[in-house]
Amino acid sequence: MLTGKSILVTGGTGSFGKAFVRRALREYDPHKIIIYSRDEFKQYQMAQLFPSDKLRFFIGDVRDEKRLYRALAGGVDYVIHAAAMKHVPASEYNPFEAVQTNIMGAQNLINTSIDAGVQKVVALSTDKACNPVNLYGATKLCSDKLFVAANAYSGKMITRFSVVRYGNVLGSRGSVVPFFQKLAPTGELPITDERMTRFWITLPEAVKFVINSFPLMKGGELFIPKIPSMRITDLAQAVAPGCSYKVIGVRPGEKLHEMMISSDDSRRLFEMGDRYIKLPDFPFWQIQLPEGVKPVEEGFEYASNTNTQWLGIEELKNVLQQEGVVE
């Protein structure tokens, strides 16, 4: 799907963007990859990390519609939308900034992608968009709705939009793993709640899932990977064996357990191999599902505490070692 294609990645200097570029250059032969982001120093660092003539570094903000038009003007086949304001407390303190980036930025990308004749757009979402309890999750839910509805908005134009939603990513910025590693020498780790569970996916797995979603998408789907859960106490022991922990309480805007699919979402939810596929609640156009899909049972939920796949302490250690996070 990526060979010979021109791809634009918004927020491309982030964890996902770097992992995507690494895989795309290693396993495919894209025509070019445009890194669209705001920070010129991070772009400089990324250019040193990937000295390839297939990369283009484009300074710009998704809030700037005119700049997006310019970035897409050279002919772009696919777009991966990874740009977002993600920090929960920062979004709560600066709510309209989160709205402008996560919502207005999404609509800007929709408008410009349709006008530029982009073939496919995949937007990255988060578990926090399912039954959101903080502004970040609420803005991402709104963004998801915009991208799904954009398939009707595009009319007879060729552009199609889909969304990928997954949970915590090992190795991403803001991950709890480096936080635990930093505090390990003190002998004590802060734990919000001993019962807390989280979904778990590695960066390479996330990138692979997104790439594999391109040939499946017809427009309007929400793709959710089947991934394991872990207990926060097990992760603490895997990262810093022997450390004690202090319970500090669930932070504002935080959930005890993650949920990627609610029971209400299950009404138009289908299962296929390594993923679940959520169809739009308001289908203004026809979607042809891939072969081999089957509807889930009524009332189905996909939550981290009721998951059927789990990573224990030893499994977590193995994953962390494989990803080079711990020795």
Diameter over CA atoms, the chain = 61
Tokens of 245: 């922990």
Tell me, what amino acid is at 126? T
Determine the Cα–Cα distance for residues 83 and 260; give it in Å rounded to an integer.
Answer: 20
Residues 6+ apart with CB under 8 A from 297: 266
Which member of 18, 128, 208, 317 is catalytic? 128
Residues 119 and 111: beta-carbon distance below 8 Å? no
Determine the Cα–Cα distance for residues 203 and 231; give it in Å rounded to an integer.
Answer: 19
Determine the Cα–Cα distance for residues 88 and 126; give it in Å rounded to an integer.
Answer: 12
- The torsion angle over the Cα atoms of residues 68, 71, 77 and 81, rounded to 10 degrees, is -50
Q: Is 208 one of the annotated active-site residues of the chain?
A: no
Residue among 133, 131, 245 at smallest CA distance from 184:
245
Residue among 56, 62, 60, 110 at smallest CA distance from 82:
62
Determine the Cα–Cα distance for residues 114 and 321; give it in Å rounded to an integer.
Answer: 43
**What residue has token string 């408008």?**
111
Residues 6+ apart with CB under 8 A from 28: 2, 3
Determine the Cα–Cα distance for residues 89 and 80; give it in Å rounded to an integer.
Answer: 26
Buried b (16+ CB within 10 A) or exposed e, 203-231: bbbbbbbbbbbbebbbbbbbbbbbbbbbb
Task: Give the residue numbers annotated as catalytic, written as ranges.
Answer: 128
